[in-house]
Amino acid sequence: MDTHKKIREHISALIDGELSATDLELAFAALEGADGKQAWNTYHRIGDVLRGQATPELSDGFAARLAARLAAEPAPVRRVKAAEEKRVSEASPSLQGGGGSEQKAMEPAAAVVARSKPAIASVS
C-alpha cells in the first residue's frame, strides 16, 4: 500500500474515532507533515459539507498569513485604574501589610495573656 494512502486512512480513522490505539502514534506523527495536515483539513471539510456546515473556500496560505500577522501584533495590555486598585485593597486589608484579619484573630489571645500576668508593684 502506498504510504500517502496509508497516512490518509489513518487520519480518516482518527477523525471518525475508529483508529486503533496501536496506530495513534503513527497518525499523530503523520499530522506533523504537510500531507497529514492537508488530509486532516480535507477530511474535516468533507465532514462539514456532509453535515451542511461548509465553510467558504480560503485562498492558499491564508491561515499561515493570518497566523504570521497575529504573531507580529503586540500583546494587548489592560491598565488598572486607580479606582479598581483602591477597591481591591479595601476588600482585602491583609494584603496591605498589617492590620488585617491576622491581627484581629490574635487580639483575644493577647487579652488572655495580659489578664493572666500578675501585676508587678513598683518599688520606689
Query: Three-state SS string across 17-72, please?
Result: CCCCHHHHHHHHHHCCCHHHHHHHHHHHHHHHHHCCCCCCCCCCCHHHHHHHHHHH
pLDDT of res. 1: 58
pLDDT of res. 68: 94
What is the distance between the alpha carbons of residues 102 and 107, in angstroms, rounded to a whole number?
9
Task: Give the tens place of pLDDT for each residue, 2-58.
Answer: 888 888 888 889 988 998 988 888 899 989 988 889 888 888 888 888 888 776 777
Q: Which range, of 12-16, 66-70, 111-115, averages the lowest pLDDT?
A: 111-115
DSSP code of residue 93:
G
Degrees, nearest 5: CA angle 46-50-54:
70
What is the distance between the alpha carbons of residues 39 and 9, in angstroms, rounded to a whole number?
9
Place of cell 496591605: 96
Asked if pLDDT for residue 122 goes beyond 70, the answer is no
